[in-house]
Structure formats: C-alpha cells, structure tokens
Amino acid sequence: MESSHAQRKNEHLSLATKLYNQVHTNSFNSMQIIHKSLPEISLDQVNPVTNCGTLKLAVPFFIEAMTGGSQNAFKINQELAMVAKKHHLAMALGSASIIFHDPTAKKSFKVVRDINPDGIVIANLSAKASLEQAKTVIDLLDADALELHVNTTQELIMDDGDRNFHWLTNIESLVNRLNIPVIVKEVGFGMDSSTINQLQSIGVSIINISGRGGTNFATIEDRRNHTADFSFLNYWGQTTLESMLEAREARTKDTQIIASGGICSPLDVIKAGILGANAVGVAGYFLNILIHDGIDALDKEITNWQMALPRLLALLGCKSFNELPSTNFVLHGEELEYAQQRDLI
C-alpha cells in the first residue's frame, strides 16, 4: 500500500491523462503567422541550439515537470529520462516535496539522473520550500536548475492544500542563496505582467508563465475533491498565448521567459518563440502519448518534432530560435480582444 502522498501523485497522473483531451483548448490556434515566400536561407544555416540563461539547450523544447514519488511515477520518469537522453532534451521532474514525508520516494526521482548522467535535469519544489530542502533535492539529482512552482489555484481547491501564500520573501532568499538557476513557474494558470514584475523585482531571472490551455489542475483537483465543487474554475487564468503577451515587455536580456501550457506541436513551439519564449516546456501532451501509446510512440513523436523544428525556422527565415521574435503575426477572436483590452499590442 503506497502513502497518501504517493496516491495523490498517481491520481494526478491518471486524471491528467483522462482529462487532457477534454480540457485542451489551444490558444495558439488564434495566432496566425505571416508567411514569407522568400526567406533567403538554407536549412543548413539553421541551428536549433538555444540558451535559456546559463542553460544551454540542444533543442528549444523540453519535458516539463510532472511526477515522482510513486511506483507508477518511477516507471514514467524512467521512460521519460530515456527519451530525454536519446533526444538531448532537458527534463524537469515533478515536485520532490514528497521525499520529506517518504524517503523511499527518492529513487523515483534519482532514476532520471542515473539514466541520463550528462543531461540537463531540473528539480522542482514548492515556492515555500526551505533552503535545506532545496539543497537536498539539488544534491539528490545533481540538478542543473531548480523550478519553484506557484500554484495557488490548485492549493485552494484541495481540501488539505496550503492557505498561506506569502511566498515572495522565500523565493528571493532561495534565488540569492542557491548557486544554480532558479526558475519560478506556474502550473497551468498563466501569469500577468504584474506577477512577472514582482518576480523580476526580487531577482528571478527565469520565469515559466505556464498558461491555461493544456493540463488543467482546477479540473484535476476538482475531480479529486469530494467535499466542494470548484468546477466554475475550469476556465480560470490566462492562456499561454495571453501570458506570453503579458511577458513581452518584461522580457529583457536579464529575464528569460519559458512558455508552457497546452504545447502540442512543433508549430506551437515556434509560435511561443515568436512571442519571445527562450525555451518551451511540454508536459501533458508527451505524458498522454507515453501512457496511451508507449515509449516507442513518444520516441517517434519527438523524432518528428526534432526534424520539423529546423525546417519551420527555415520557413520563417530564422537561423536560430532566438531570431523568431522578429516574425510578424496577427491574432484572431478572443485572443485579439484580450490583447487589445490589456493594451498588449
């Protein structure tokens, strides 16, 4: 019998895969890239390597934080790590807070580093984690970066979730005291420009806006919660496209923006790049392929993304991912209205 923490991880995995297709509403469909017929480039001039702060990514997309802490999570992390290694993808793990309740959970995280000793591995903890906890998890994984998740919506829906959200001072202290990059990330509800400014003001230099459109933790936690009905929050938060627009002004040489939330094709990766993403995280879409169709299907999908990305860059006349923001685009429908009302275009 696994602990209640491990059971929660298993429920997340199972609901994330059951509900993904019901909640998936890709905001990038409202963004039309302006095609140019004469890009004046050849494919061999294109290099997909991209830098996100000091992290050098062979490919601009990576496997975003999902799991760890149960037997099922062990197998999933093992398979994701094998795929990450083969394709030179960075990989973030799910929150490791569970190891402080159940030390046997450590192996389901460590397996990722064991399989991929030279890859980029990103640890994940709550924004309220202590310095000691952060150091323990970083050591366990020999992590290249640490993600701190900010997940108020999810916590408030959970019966036993956090109720105190004074997180900024703790985040600032972790950023100042850790000697690896600290990424602050949402979990699928997006960010606005004022949140991004708050994070910048305390020295956070990598921000993952993780927006609405893919995995939806309001829906997932609502299904787990049997005492209260929160289904009215199913459309809470800013979409990934809206969050990227919110982040555009704040994006500087010193602030790197990661896009995630509902990314499910190489074209989405490109669109995120046009909106200024330095890197792009993919969680639910890859998890669904792995769980429903197996590791070979995920391997095949990622092979296709790897092949398509440089060709899409060439189509747009861009030699690298970082050149994408000069590409023209227009917005349609609700996303255009959002951008106009928020004065973002």
Binding-site residues for substrate, please? 8-9, 154
* Binding flag, residue 124, ligand FNR (CB under 6 A): yes
Size of the site for ligand FNR (CB under 6 A): 27
Contact window for ligand FNR (CB under 6 A) among 63-71, 138-146, 322-330, 331-339: 63-71
In contact, 89 and 123? CB cutoff 8 Å: no
Q: Which two tokens stand for residue 52?
A: 């996100």
CA atoms 298, 303, 309, 315: torsion sign: negative
DSSP label at 47? B
Comparison of 144 and 316: residue with beta carbon closer to ligand FNR: 144
Contact window for ligand FNR (CB under 6 A) among 78-86, 133-141, 166-174, 258-266: 258-266
In contact, 242 and 190? CB cutoff 8 Å: yes
* Binding flag, residue 284, ligand FNR (CB under 6 A): yes
In contact, 68 and 109? CB cutoff 8 Å: yes
List % helix, strand, coil for the chain (3-state, nearest 5): 50, 15, 35
User: Which position among 204, 287, 318, 339 is part of the footprint of ligand FNR (CB under 6 A)?
Assistant: 287
In contact, 146 and 183? CB cutoff 8 Å: yes
Shortest distance, position 245 Cβ to ligand FNR, whole Å: 18
Closest listed residue to residue 324, CA positions, set 281, 265, 271: 271
DSSP label at 190? -
* Binding flag, residue 288, ligand FNR (CB under 6 A): no
Tell me how far apart the alpha carbons of residues 98 and 324 are, in angstroms, rounded to a whole number: 39
Orientation angle between helical segments 4-23 and 71-87, nearest 10 degrees: 60
**What part of residues 145-204 is at the interface with ligand FNR (CB under 6 A)?**
147, 149, 185, 187-188
Comparison of 5 and 319: residue with beta carbon closer to ligand FNR: 5
Contact window for ligand FNR (CB under 6 A) among 8-16, 189-197, 250-258, 300-308: 8-16
What are the binding residues? 8-9, 65-67, 95, 124, 154-155, 185, 210, 215, 283-284
Q: Give, for 145, the enclosing helix (H) or strand (E).
A: strand 145-149
Contact window for ligand FNR (CB under 6 A) among 34-42, 65-73, 131-139, 168-176: 65-73
Tell me how far apart the alpha carbons of residues 165 and 141 are, in angstroms, rounded to a whole number: 27
DSSP label at 255? B
Comparison of 123 and 316: residue with beta carbon closer to ligand FNR: 123
Shortest distance, position 55 Cβ to ligand FNR, whole Å: 17
* Binding flag, residue 67, ligand FNR (CB under 6 A): yes
Contact window for ligand FNR (CB under 6 A) among 44-52, 132-140, 280-288, 317-325: 280-288
CA atoms 172, 174, 178, 180: torsion sign: negative
The amino acid at 239: T
* Binding flag, residue 66, ligand FNR (CB under 6 A): yes
Shortest distance, position 179 Cβ to ligand FNR, whole Å: 21
Residues that bind ligand FNR (CB under 6 A): 12-13, 16, 64-67, 94-95, 124, 147, 149, 185, 187-188, 210, 214-215, 260-263, 282-285, 287
